[in-house]
Amino acid sequence: MARTSTADDRPGSLALVIGLAAAATAFTATFRGPRARFWDRMTLTGLSLGSLALLTSARARGARVRLWHIPLGLLSAGILYVTFEIGDRFARRYVPQGDAQIRDIYSLRALRPRREIATRLATVIGPAEELFWRGLVQAALMRRFGRWRGAALAAGAYGGVHVTSGNFTLIGAAGVAGAHWCALYAAGVPLGTLIVSHVAWDVWIFLVQPTGEIEVLAAA
């Protein structure tokens, strides 16, 4: 059973401001830099933000993946995947340039060997995002604004840093995924479970079973 939340072990406003500024800078560099080096920059972003979370948040430092977290995390990832299957069909049909934007996201799979990408996602990127966005950002926002308002603000911040990608579909997808994990964390789901969920979902939807067609269309 998850430990009851207390304000004392949650990061304060200074850590939150530093964290959000660092995230905005890091994600801008990740999405605006040379495409061929995307996975190097994304890994560096994970290492930087994850380290910041460990330095400033007792919640992040206390995160552990327990055996019972695994089935719950996989269930959470499965629910999110079904949500994205539905969202994929909607975006391709109704969002202007939605199909092209989804294919553009999946084209990142071709930049590095899939085994290498899976390793980066599972060991650095996925865990670091949970430590930072839930363990630092959301924990601090919930301390200041309350559980559910803080969760909503954290989900908005997670979607917001993806604006620099210039990909409307990616921004929406980040907002949906962020809202999913933020709601679970606000409800008391342990960080360990969310780490399992994030890693499983990343690897499955991006490398194992993408949603819909993923081949990049030739420019007209």
Residue 219 pLDDT > 60, yes or no?
no
In SS3 terms, the chain reads as CCCCCCHHHCCCHHHHHHHHHHHHHHHHHHHHCCHHHHHHHHHHHHHHHHHHHHHHCHHHHCCCCCCCHHHHHHHHHHHHHHHHHHHHHHHHHHCCCHHHHHHHHHHHHHCCCHHHHHHHHHHHHHHHHHHHHHHHHHHHHHHHHCHHHHHHHHHHHHHHCCHHHCCHHHHHHHHHHHHHHHHHHHCCCCHHHHHHHHHHHHHHHHHHCCCCCCCCCCCC
Residue 185 pLDDT > 90, yes or no?
yes
The top-scoring range by mean pLDDT among 10-14, 48-52, 98-102, 171-175 is 48-52
Residue 99 pLDDT > 60, yes or no?
yes
Domain-embedded: residue 123: yes
The sign of the torsion formed by the CA atoms of 76, 41, 52, 18 equals negative
Question: Mean pLDDT, to the nearest integer, of 105-115?
Answer: 92
Question: Mean pLDDT, to the nearest integer, of 73-101?
Answer: 85
Question: Mean pLDDT, to the nearest integer, of 177-206?
Answer: 96
Domain-embedded: residue 220: no
Q: What is the pLDDT of residues 34-61, one digit of tens each?
A: 999 999 999 999 999 999 999 999 999 9
* Beta carbons of 53 and 139 less than 8 angstroms apart: no
pLDDT, position 26: 96
pLDDT, position 13: 87
Domain-embedded: residue 164: yes
Residues spanned by the domain of 56? 7-208
Domain-embedded: residue 219: no
Domain-embedded: residue 190: yes
Provide the number of structural domains found in the chain: 1
Domain-embedded: residue 1: no
Residue 180 — pLDDT band, cuts 50, 70, 90?
A: very high
Question: Mean pLDDT, to the nearest integer, of 199-217?
Answer: 80
What is the CA 55 to chain-centroid distance, rounded?
Answer: 20
Share of the chain above pLDDT 90, in %: 72
Q: How far apart are CA 195 and CA 67, in angstroms?
A: 13
